Structure 1
C-alpha cells in the first residue's frame, strides 16, 4: 500500500517536471530517480519560477 502511494507520487512529480520541460537529471531519466530526488528537483523548479 505504501509502495503504491510512493509510485503515485513519483508519477505525479514526473508529470509536473515533464510539463516544465525537464526530461532528465544529469544522465538519468526521471523514472530512474528516487522520490526524494524528484521532490528536490520539483522544489528547485518552483524556486526558479518564483
Structure 2
C-alpha cells in the first residue's frame, strides 16, 4: 500500500465515486417512487377513487 501524498488522491477519488454511486442510487429510488405514485394515481383515476 502506498503512503504519503500519492495515497491521498486515491482515497479522495474512491470517496467521490462512493458519493456519486449514492447519488445515482438515490436518483433511481426517487424515480421509482415517482413512477409508482404516477401509476397509483392513474389507477385511482381509472377506478374512480379520486
Indicate the structure (1 or 2) with the bigger Cα radius of gyration: 2
Structure having the higher strand fraction is 1
Structure having the higher helix fraction is 2
Place the TM-score, normalised by the shorter chain, in its bin.
0.3 to 0.5
The higher relative CO (CA closer than 8 Å, separation ≥ 6) is in: 1
Q: TM-score under structure 2 normalisation? A: 0.41
